Structure 1
Amino acid sequence: MMHVLFVLGVLQTAAVHADFSGEVVGVLEGDLIEVRHRQQAERIRLNGIDCPEKGQPFGTGAKQAVIALVFGKKVTLKIHGLDKYGRTIADVILPEGTNVSRQLVKDGWCWWYRKYAPHDSILETLEREAKNAKMGLWADAAPIPPWDFRRNRRGQAPEWIEMDSAPVEVMP
């Protein structure tokens, strides 16, 4: 009996994480959409990217870019798992084959999220090219990554500050 329950659990987990296609019925943020799946809207976190937050420069532009790319279209999702909030993480592929995350990075609407896609050399290259061309948010002299924006909003130090580094001694 235990073997049957284990097998059912494995099959259920596999079904939850199986690739699927559906219509995009909502765009909540630049990196968060809703796709109709089994007659319900399922929240999908775009894999490998982090877009500016609401209230952050370029946040509205990133959301509008995603609306233009995906809203009302049938997309295919290549599932990577769930994030800490229980949302599905996926590569979102348009009918003609465009990877939405890659397109957004290429157009300068978001950052390559190194923390969660550290070995994605395609996103790395696309970000570097967008930055060099000053596309989208890279037109800003000093764009603030969303992970630092969120930390600052919570009153925490940005990630680029090394909290465990030795203090610098100033000589009079």
Structure 2
Amino acid sequence: MKAILCFFLLFVAAAAPATTMEGKVTRIIDGNTLEFISNAGETYIIVLSGIDCPELTQAYGDEARICLEKLALNKKATVTVKGKDRTGNSIAEVMVDGKKDPRIQLLKDGLAWTQEGTSNELESYKVASQSKKKGLWKDENPTPPWTFRRQQSMMTPKSS
């Protein structure tokens, strides 16, 4: 019975339509996070789906933020929300000026990793920048942001 219920819940979640909104990018938080105001006046924090950029305190973190700023800040955008992260931010695909996907440029410039389960299309951009040793791929063994975040949280003293 549990297996049937789990299958049903997965089917319903997968069948839920993505939410698409039009609006403007008003702030860049880091290489893969931005603030978006919809045409309805609602403000969202958007995390770009399928990629993860270095943290701002990591090598290439600021470069990734600047790249996203050049690509998207103060520009019209279409946001297709795919879900929410554990902090409630929207995970979405963003098309700037109706045609530019900033994730592709971040990957081409070697300023992002793809996340597991990402489409082959996005993965091919990462592999190409890796083979050309662009951006963070200049380093022999760059630290992925998820590893960096885990290391940082382990260094933070636990409150008693």
TM-score range, shorter chain: 0.7 to 0.9
Map 1:7-156 onto structure 2 (within 5 A): 18-37=19-38, 38-114=40-116, 118-155=117-154
Tell me if structure 1 keeps the 8 A contact 2:83–2:91. yes
Shift of 1:52: 0.4
- Structure-1-length-normalised TM-score: 0.76
Q: Which runs of 5+ in 2 are unaligned?
A: 1-15, 156-160
What is the identity, as a one-letter code, of the residue corresponding to 1:139?
K
Q: Contact 2:78 / 2:98 at 8 angstroms: preserved in 1?
A: no
CA distance in 2 between partners of 1:27 and 1:132 (Å): 28
Larger radius of gyration: 1
Aligned amino acid, residue 20 of structure 2: D
> 1:25–1:41: 8 Å Cα contact kept in structure 2?
no
2:64 aligned counterpart, secondary structure: helix
| Unaligned stretches of 5+ residues in structure 1 | 1-13, 157-172
Please give the secondary structure, in 1, of the residue aligned with 2:88. coil
Structure-2 separation of matches of 1:119 and 1:144 = 19
Identity %: 33
Structure 1 distance, partners of 2:25, 2:76, is 6
Q: What SS does structure 2 have at the residue aligned with 1:154? A: helix
Tell me how far 1:139 sits from its aligned partner. Answer: 1.2
Counterparts in 2 of 1:87 and 1:103: CA distance versus 1, 3 Å: same
User: SS state of the match for residue 142, structure 1?
Assistant: coil
Aligned partner of residue 155 in structure 1, secondary structure: helix
SS in 1 for 2:59: coil
1:106 Cα shift?
Answer: 1.5
- Retained in 2: the 8 A contact 1:26–1:33? yes
On the 8 A contact 1:24/1:70 being kept in 2, the answer is: yes
- One-letter amino acid matched to 1:134: K
What TM-score, normalized by structure 2, do the two folds share?
0.81
Instruction: Return structure 1 stretches of 4+ with deviation > 4 angstroms.
Output: none
Query: 1:41: how far off?
Result: 2.4
Q: How many Å apart are 1:119 and its aligned residue?
A: 4.3
CA positional deviation for 1:96: 5.0
Count how many residue pairs are aligned between Structure 1 and Structure 2: 139
Computed over aligned residues only, the root mean square deviation of the Cα atoms, in angstroms, reads 1.7
